[in-house]
Amino acid sequence: MKKVLLLGIIITSVLSCSINDSTGEGFYFEILPIESVTIPNEMTFGEVYTINYTYFKPSTCYFFHDLYYVAESNKRTVAVINKVLEGSESIICEPLIDELVEGSFEFVVTQSGGTYVFKFWQGEDENGDDIYLVHEVTIVL
């Protein structure tokens, strides 16, 4: 009985798993430059603020996935991560011109003084160095 049960589990496992994607459609993630940001010049300790940003969506195959957000000391680095579908027979990617996407995130002020330095990624320069839109925000009590 144990052998039959074990054989059933093995057969079920083999038949239910597939290495190949059945649709043949793939995707990858891409970080997109932030175009603009709306952020206050000062924030109050303990308060919650909505920070708005915009970025350009290059084609119909780009979809918001998440924000890249890294907090180091008083610095916050932010970038937009999109999931990009790879074109295929079943997926047609149409280029978009000036398709501005708006997004936002909530920020809780946990420092009781000093400043926050927000760095919003805007791409790379001709040398491959990262470019940031930098906002320094004063914390008030």
Name the residue ranges covered by the structural domains of the chain: 25-140
Q: Say which residues have a Cβ less than 8 Å from residue 42's Cβ, sequence separation at least 6.
A: 137, 138, 139, 140
For residue 86, the model assigns a pLDDT of 87
Q: Give pLDDT, residue 92.
A: 87
pLDDT at 16: 45
How many alpha carbons lie under 13 Å from residue 23 in its C-beta half-sphere?
Answer: 10
Residues of the chain with pLDDT under 50: 1-24
In CATH, which of 2.40.30, 3.40.50, 1.10.150, 2.60.40 is domain 25-140?
2.60.40
Take residue 60 and report the two structure tokens written for it. Answer: 């119909």
